[in-house]
Amino acid sequence: MADKRTITIFDTTLRDGEQSPGASMNLNEKVQFAHALAKLNVDVIEAGFPIASPGDFEAVRGVSEAVAGPIICGLARSLEKDIVRAAEALAPAARRRIHVFCATSEIHRNHKLKKKKEQIIEMSVQAVRLARTFTDDVEFSPEDASRTEWDFLNDVLAAVIEAGATTLNIPDTVGYAIPEQFGALIRNIRDKVPNIDKAVISVHCHNDLGLAVANSLAAVAAGAGQVECTINGIGERAGNASLEEVVMALRTRGDVFDADTGIDTRRIYPTSRLLTSITGLTVQRNKAIVGDNAFAHEAGIHQHGVLAHRETYEIMRPEDVGIPSNKLVLGKHSGHHAFRDRVATLGYVLTDEEMNAAFDQFIALADKKKNVYDEDIEAIIDAQSETAGEVWTLTGLQTIAGDSTTPTATVTLTREGEDRTDAAIGDGPVDAVYSAIQRITGVTVTLSDYQLRALTGGTDAQGEVSVEVVHDGRKFRGRGVHTDVVEASGLAYLAAINRILTVQNGHYRPAQP
């Protein structure tokens, strides 16, 4: 029997995923997450869109320098300046790919690019040729492919293969496709593009109709050899195809697809958790594969069945996707070695200096609370990554609140070694803290979401606050963790403000060019 096909997994969490409102990450966080993707064994990491901003350029360069294993990819429009910039950012990578795109659908041709069909082909061919002067690995995407006339799409694809494209990515940019039809589109490309054997067909599906994974799988069944996806399915608007769902569908139903991936599925859950803690974007409880309820059996009949014979109601085992069967707890007597081991299992790659700093904070926390859980360790390390791009730090906080007093907060923030203290009143202690922070930083925001939860079980649990604020019409998230929930609230708010300031300093991507 012929071997199963291995589908290439192209992760775009750091590029399309980061286009989710509120999902912005700083350079440290991106490099940290790219290390986790390498451990997950993805084949390609799309690390950003280098021309888009200095921050994106630094991210692609930083990942290219630091992360070994996967191919590192950078996105570029079909413009010389984009391609040159992408090549520059990718230069340190051992294996690099330039991903050029050009919209092909009638609606994009007429209203966005204002170009005729022949001009689109010419631009695309020139772009691929130029990209090939920097690397042999060039991917081309006809943007909005699923709404492009099939014959024209085939003409574009044949021309870019001739120009040197090695991967042809077929994006369902607006999430319009339906599985049967999308599979037929891929089959048509395989049948009608004469030189298609010289390239790999890839797909990139958006989830506007909730069909991104179904469309990706239909494409695999029709012969696609690469799937583009993101952890937790984050991405522009309703998101992209979720990596964990695509990978586990191929693994669980290999009988149907006769295909698999090289993903180390036991790294799926830690990678999903890492993304959640970096971005503050939580997954819904019933999310397939990684949601809290994905393996929870509530109905008595189901519980009985699973106890009698697991496969009665479980098609995958939680341990196959890295969900720990029992939670390991550390305490103040746990040594450096146990801590280091746990940090590695959670998917982090830290320098010795970062590890020692995290260990000191772990010991300080273990002095305050008896049991230190994985979530506490994640919070310590994430706070370190966040502070790496920090502008202001919270160095003092006092609040007065109660039935017969006006809630008042006195806050001290430090920036470049200089302390600034201010006080404010509010509707409650958190509101007062937020007003004081706004007064000191001079950054005005509107709070659009505030969530507080206990990070772990137990009355000594740390409080985790996740906020979303709006500044100049854009959303930014921040997260804070502390045993005192008012302080956690202040930390979360300040983290969001620091992200805004990093944008203003040019470290963050403005709207896609």
- Number of helical H runs and strand E runs in the chain: 17, 15
| Contacts with ligand KIV, 183-212, as mask; x by CB under 6 A | ---------------------x-x------
Contacts of 196 (CB under 8 A, 6+ apart): 157, 161, 168, 189, 190
Q: Strand, helix or coil at 89?
A: helix
Question: Which range, of 159-167, 169-177, 178-186, 459-467, touches ligand KIV by CB under 6 A?
Answer: 169-177
Q: Measured from the CB of residue 152, what is the shortest distance to ligand KIV in angstroms?
A: 16
Least Å distance, CB 149 to ligand KIV, is: 17
User: Please, are residues 68 and 100 in contact by the beta-carbon 8 Å criterion?
Assistant: no
The nearest distance, CB 88 to Zn ion, in angstroms, is 23
Closer to ligand KIV by CB, 211 or 455: give it. Answer: 211
16 near ligand KIV, rule: CB under 6 A: yes
CA–CA gap between residue 228 and residue 220 (Å, rounded): 11
Residue 173 binds to ligand KIV (criterion: CB under 6 A): yes
Minimum separation from the CB atom of position 288 to ligand KIV (A):
22
Q: Residue 43 or residue 374: which is nearer to Zn ion going by CB?
A: 43
Interface segment toward ligand KIV; rule CB under 6 A; list 86-94, 166-174, 396-404, 484-492: 166-174
Secondary structure element (H or E) that encloses residue 152, with its range: helix 150-163
Tell me whether strands 446-454 and 408-415 are parallel, antiparallel or unpaired.
unpaired
Beta-carbon contacts of 502 under 8 Å, excluding residues fewer than 6 positions away, are: 26, 55, 389, 391, 508
CA 1 to chain centre: 38
Asked if 77 touches ligand KIV (CB under 6 A), the answer is: no
The entry of ligand KIV, Zn ion, none that residue 101 binds, CB within 5 to 8 Å by partner kind: ligand KIV
Nearest CA-CA partner of 345 in 364, 324, 362, 372: 324
Ramachandran area for residue 324 (φ above 0: left; ψ -120 to 50: alpha; else beta): beta
Residue 280 contact, options ligand KIV, Zn ion, none, Cβ 5-8 Å cut-off depending on partner type: none
Q: Of 31-39, 168-176, 382-390, 457-465, which part binds ligand KIV (CB under 6 A)? A: 168-176
Number of residues that bind ligand KIV (CB under 6 A): 9
Neighbours of 450 (CB within 10 A): 15
Q: Closest separation between CB of residue 455 and ligand KIV, Å? A: 34
Q: How far is the CB of 297 from Zn ion (least distance, A)?
A: 36
Q: Is 142 in the site for ligand KIV (CB under 6 A)?
A: no
Please, which residues have CB within 8 angstroms of residue 269's CB and are 6 or more apart in sequence? Answer: 290, 321, 322, 323, 324
Judging by DSSP bridges, how do beta strands 446-454 and 418-425 pair with one another?
unpaired
How many whole angstroms from its chain centre is CA 302?
Answer: 34
Q: Is residue 171 at the binding interface for ligand KIV, with CB under 6 A as the rule? A: yes
d(C-alpha 138, C-alpha 78), whole Å = 12
Residue with tokens 């085939």: 154
Q: Closest distance between ligand KIV and the C-beta of residue 512, in Å?
A: 9
- For ligand KIV, which residue of 33, 101, 339, 508 counts as binding (CB under 6 A)? 101
- Minimum Å gap between C-beta 84 and Zn ion is 23
Q: Which is nearer to ligand KIV, 173 or 271 (CB)?
A: 173
Applying CB under 6 A, does 143 fall inside the site for ligand KIV?
yes
Stretch that binds ligand KIV, among 165-173, 216-224, 290-298, 407-415 (CB under 6 A): 165-173
Q: Which does 143 bind (CB under 5 to 8 A by kind): ligand KIV, Zn ion, none?
A: ligand KIV
**Which amino acid type is present at position 30?**
K
- Residue 169 or 435 with smaller CB distance to ligand KIV: 169
> What ranges make up the beta strands (E) of 104-229?
138-143, 167-172, 200-205, 226-229
Choose the contact partner of 426 out of Zn ion, ligand KIV, none; CB within 5 to 8 A by kind: none
Q: Is 141 in the site for ligand KIV (CB under 6 A)?
A: yes
141 binds, among Zn ion, ligand KIV, none (CB under 5 to 8 A by kind): ligand KIV
CB of 235 to Zn ion, least distance (A): 6
CA-CA distance, 197 to 203, in Å (whole number)?
A: 16
Q: Which helix (H) or strand (E) holds 24?
A: none
| Contact partner, 489, from Zn ion, ligand KIV, none, Cβ < 5-8 Å per class | none
Distance separating alpha carbons of residues 18 and 384, to the nearest angstrom: 20
Binding site for ligand KIV (CB under 6 A): 16, 101, 141, 143, 169, 171, 173, 204, 206
